[in-house]
Amino acid sequence: MLYHVLYPLNSLFAGFNVFRYITFRTIGAAVTAFLFFVLVAPAFIRYIRNLQLGQVVRDDGPETHLKKEGIPTMGGMLIIFTIINTTLLWANLTNRYIWVILGVTLWFGSVGAIDDFRKIFINNSKGLSARGKLLLQIIGALLLGFILYTHPDFDGHLSVPFFKGLKPDLGWFYIIFALLVIVGASNAVNLTDGLDGLAAGPIIISGSVYLVFSYLAGHAVLANYLQIPFVPGAGELAVYCGALVGSTLGFLWFNAYPAQMFMGDVGSLAMGGTLGTIAIITKQEILLAIVGGIFVMEALSVIIQVGFFKISGGKRVFLMAPFHHHFEKKGWAEPKVVVRFWIISIILGLLALATLKLR
């Protein structure tokens, strides 16, 4: 909105010309989102507490988590509200990718909200059935994949890191590939959200990395220099990423150990879905496995644990899955697990950025 209202006034005052630049608006979105969240969150927490929308803890989880029962949850609603309004404030609203990513945020956030409400009001930590949740995610991801693939400026070529000349055309199968990336990312972030601040840190790091990828992908000269796919209009997604990073930083202010509120599935499913979508739009899909390596590790730990349990007749690879609970069972304090996972996430983010020059 500011872009459309203030930038045209640059003929009257040259200072308004700064609203033309994506970099300025991205920084503005990040700062605005952070400040808004920090200012509004205390009232939001009180409101959620008055409604008795508290965390429902798994009865088969670590005993130390029982004390988290009743802590205000669904903080993801405020994250989504902040991201959407900040993006509308700072982004160029004629950019179609902005509306695509906002649609994904709302869809996956709605799926998570249904899951959270079922957990709270039915007092069941399992929430929405796995089949129902997956079906709703698949519907949203298929619709997105179809919209992107059928647009004239988009194609089904896959960008492979380290191999600048290798760009296989997946054709219509790209829609299925997009589905796997988006749904996989959504559920992986959801599985990671199990300790105070654990999911928020990697989300911030991944969002920052894809902020850079978005800007580069939308800049013809830089994309050509770095030999990455040029996606006209993708640069505006940097503004959205700025809002995502800023709002999640604000959330982390209250979610850091000991947490005053939790993200809930409404936040984790939405954040994962949006990260997967940005990876698809910027044609950096495969790199998401590196950038979001923590999420991948957490998801794989569950798959390995369940699979081995069935094959071996009841034996386990990890003391408990997802992976972060394994270290808790080994005696690691919760803040130690979280900070070390953050460190790994930072290293993986730097490695992903390094691939820009390794092609």
pLDDT tens per residue, range 120-159: 776 655 667 888 899 999 999 999 999 988 887 788 888 8
Q: Are 31 and 246 in contact (CB under 8 A)?
A: yes
Mean pLDDT of all residues in 46-67: 67
Q: Say if residue 106's pLDDT is above 90.
A: yes
Residue 246: pLDDT above 90?
yes
Bridge partners, residue 157, by sequence: 169
Predicted pLDDT of residue 4: 85
Total structural domains in the chain?
1
- The rounded mean pLDDT for the chain is 89
Domain limits for position 115 = 2-357
pLDDT confidence of 26, banded at 50, 70, 90?
very high
**59 pLDDT band (50/70/90 cuts)?**
low
The answer to whether the CB of 325 falls within 8 A of the CB of 319 is yes
Task: For 319-336, write each residue's pLDDT tens digit.
Answer: 888 989 899 889 899 999
Check residue 235 and give its pLDDT.
96
Q: Which residue has the tokens 């209202």?
A: 5
Mean pLDDT across the stretch 6-25? 84
Write the CA distances from 126 to 59, 119, 131, 132, 135, integer angstroms: 11, 6, 12, 12, 16
Burial letters for 105-134: b for 16+ Cβ neighbours within 10 Å, e otherwise? bebbbbbbbbbbbbbbeeeeeebbeeeebe
Which of these ranges, 27-41, 51-65, 103-117, 184-198, has the smallest mean pLDDT?
A: 51-65
* pLDDT tens column, 286-312: 999 999 999 999 999 999 998 988 888
Instruction: Indicate the pLDDT class of residue 37, thresholds 50, 70 and 90.
Output: very high
